[in-house]
Amino acid sequence: MAGGLTQDQIRQYGKDGYLIVEDLLTASEVETFLAEEAKEKPQAWKELALRRYTVDPQWQLLATHPKISGMVSQLMQGPPSIVQTMYMNKSPEGGTGVALHQDTHYIRNEPNTLMACWLALSDTDKENGGLCVVPGSHKRPLYETGAPKDDSEHAAWEKVYQMRGPDGQSWDEPMTSHEIRGLDSSEIVYLSVPKGGGVFFTSMTIHGSFANRSGTRPRLAFATHYVKDGTWVYRADIQETVPV
């Protein structure tokens, strides 16, 4: 699988826990995805939720894109498998974001090889609720968490997931939306990512977003989470990973 990152970019990813890369997608690829996404979808498609990439050609294209998956392979130093995909259309009049978190809290995996690629399908910045990160936070332990404090910024949810261990044992585990506790807010970096660009980050990198206060500009993004081939994912709903 061909990669496209320089050694300096790979070192920066290792140092900061994230890496911005522009022009991952062409304008045509972005517009084709958005046009297809605007069409009415069948109920069966909607029910697939995080696994729509297994049946939808446009979701599959972004999740398996050769340019992107080649860079993922470089960063994780091995062949990637897809865990889940998400399309996030944040409305321009206060659409809420996802509170600052570490993905390992939501997607436990062993060994922890989880990483993500967050693609900007519109120009994104602080004003319209773009992605923010805490550089270097991937080198720290998992933070303590608590319920989001401001529901005008971050939506709250609660769900019970079925979990399954490598020994075959199954159990139910409640999970809730949360935000990191004990973080110095001055460490947060608000990213500006142009349409077609993307951000790669590790599962330990603190990241999230705030509400879209632009008033006119939707914030459109697509995220794919990957693990290195051979990694065990505990959540049953996304346990069946698909090699790229």
Chain-wide mean pLDDT for the chain? 97
pLDDT at 29: 98
pLDDT at 139: 98
pLDDT at 239: 97
Query: How close are the terminal C-alpha atoms of the chain, in Å?
Result: 10
pLDDT at 1: 47
Q: How far apart are CA 82 and CA 238, in angstroms?
A: 9
Backbone φ and ψ for 15, nearest 5 degrees, come out as -75, -45
The pTM of the whole model exceeds 0.85: yes
Q: pLDDT (tens digit, 9 = 90+) per residue, 131-187?
A: 999 999 999 999 999 999 999 999 899 999 999 999 999 999 999 999 999 999 999
Q: pLDDT (tens digit, 9 = 90+) per residue, 92-117?
A: 999 999 999 999 999 999 999 999 99
Q: pLDDT (tens digit, 9 = 90+) per residue, 22-68?
A: 999 999 999 999 999 999 999 999 999 999 999 999 999 999 999 99
CATH 3.90.1010.10: does it fit domain 7-239? no
Q: How far apart are CA 69 and CA 55, in angstroms?
A: 18
Measure Cα distances from 194 to 2, 6, 131, 132, 191 in Å.
24, 20, 11, 14, 10
Domain boundaries along the sequence of the chain: 7-239
Mean pLDDT of 194-205: 98
Measure Cα distances from 145 to 7, 55, 68, 187 in Å.
35, 35, 31, 17
Residue 238 neighbours by CB under 8 Å, 6+ apart = 50, 51, 83, 84, 107
Measure Cα distances from 60 to 11, 50, 144 in Å.
29, 12, 34
Q: How confident is the model at residue 3 (pLDDT cuts 50, 70, 90)?
A: confident
pLDDT over 70 percentage in the chain: 99
pLDDT at 2 over 70: no
